[in-house]
Amino acid sequence: MKVTRVTVFDVTLPVTPSAGRQNAWIVEVETDEGLTGAGEIGLCYGIGGRGAAHVLLDLAEQYLIGADPGLIEKHHDNMVRNTFWGLSGGAVFMAAVSALDEALWDIKGKKLGAPIHALLGGAKTDSLRLYANGWYRGLGKAEAYRDAVYGVVQDGYSAFKFDPFKADLTGKAAHPRRVLTRELESLALERVVAAREAAPNADIIVEFHGNLWPADAIRFGLKAADLNPYFYEEVVDPLNVEAAADVARSVSVPLAGGERLWSRNGFRPFLENGTLKLVQPDLGIAGGFTEVQKIASLSESYCAYLQPHNCGGPISTAACVNLSAACPNFLIQEIFPYWTDGRENIVQNPYEADIKDGRLQIRDLPGLGVALNHDFLTRFDSLSVGRTT
């Protein structure tokens, strides 16, 4: 079996006031035997997705067209070690590698008639516990957070995450300044208090999005600790190991992070100094299945849990489910159940449609367990290398 063509679809999603412009960059790898694989560049939001798409096509043309898709470790090694820039990585470069890696694993699973989680050692559970994200868009006052949390709990979730610093009092998206104002600090704390009051028995992950410096993160972290957060996430700049360690030494709540890191070498110093207790690699950025399963093993050796970051489209969710199902140190899976922009139509059978009581059933379908919806994808611009069979 040989790879014949690789296509990237630019799925431009409707702009939402709080989420801004997003593009789901979906990859399809075709073979001369008719089997295809799907992947997703993990840069749906922010800047960089278009750059990763072009890097991906260069990689595919150089290393995959005409090659056996089953030699996944070889291809991963070539894309990282033989490209000069691949050795230092970066989110844009590694997002391209990651999406191709996901697609190759999808093909291998279909070829063998097995789900990817079976190829990774087999599922150790029938379903995954989820935590809901994305439920607080456009909310301002603490009372609005309380009401929204009631809805999340009624939807069956026993865990949820939010960034209490992300919006001003009117609900307008706001990027916190380096010096956290007393007003925003008080508002953020009120929001966490309201969330805890609405869900006294739920697990709450408080997101910082790397916007604070240690002094502010520590002060807020100490004030919110009495509300029993499950974790604090990305408390400082995501690459600043010592700053994160400073916070970890000062607060009692465990720290999570890693969505903007790539490769096991990016996670290693955070594990060696004991900073991260919940590791959150994004399969669409950190190297796909090939690298993230190594990150999971490295994390397990430091007694750290793993939860794949998931903030994109349904291919990202499918990848997360397969990795998490087979991961011995998996804790809980992130999910965005409240998107209204139609991204679930990227595939014919999204996992998101199967959520029940805050859990997601593991599928016993080949590969990723989802199929691309070409009727939907062909509405969008695409770029390809290779040829049609």
Rounded distance, CA 206 to CA 67, Å? 45
Contact 305, 279 (CB under 8 A): yes
Active site residue 175: no
Rounded distance, CA 39 to CA 125, Å? 24
Residues 6+ apart with CB under 8 A from 371: 347, 348, 349
**Phi, psi of 63, rounded to the nearest 5 degrees:** -120, -15
Task: Tell me which of 75, 76, 117, 309 is the catalytic residue.
Answer: 309
The answer to whether the Cα torsion of 73, 54, 263, 221 is positive or negative is negative
Task: Tell me which of 54, 117, 209, 374 is the catalytic residue.
Answer: 209
Radius of gyration from C-alpha coordinates of the chain: 20
Rounded distance, CA 206 to CA 118, Å? 33
Burial of 20 (0-12, 13-18, 19+ CB in 10 A): exposed
Active site residue 75: no
**Residue (of 170, 169, 28) closest to 107 by Cα position:** 28
Q: Just list the catalytic residues.
A: 209, 309
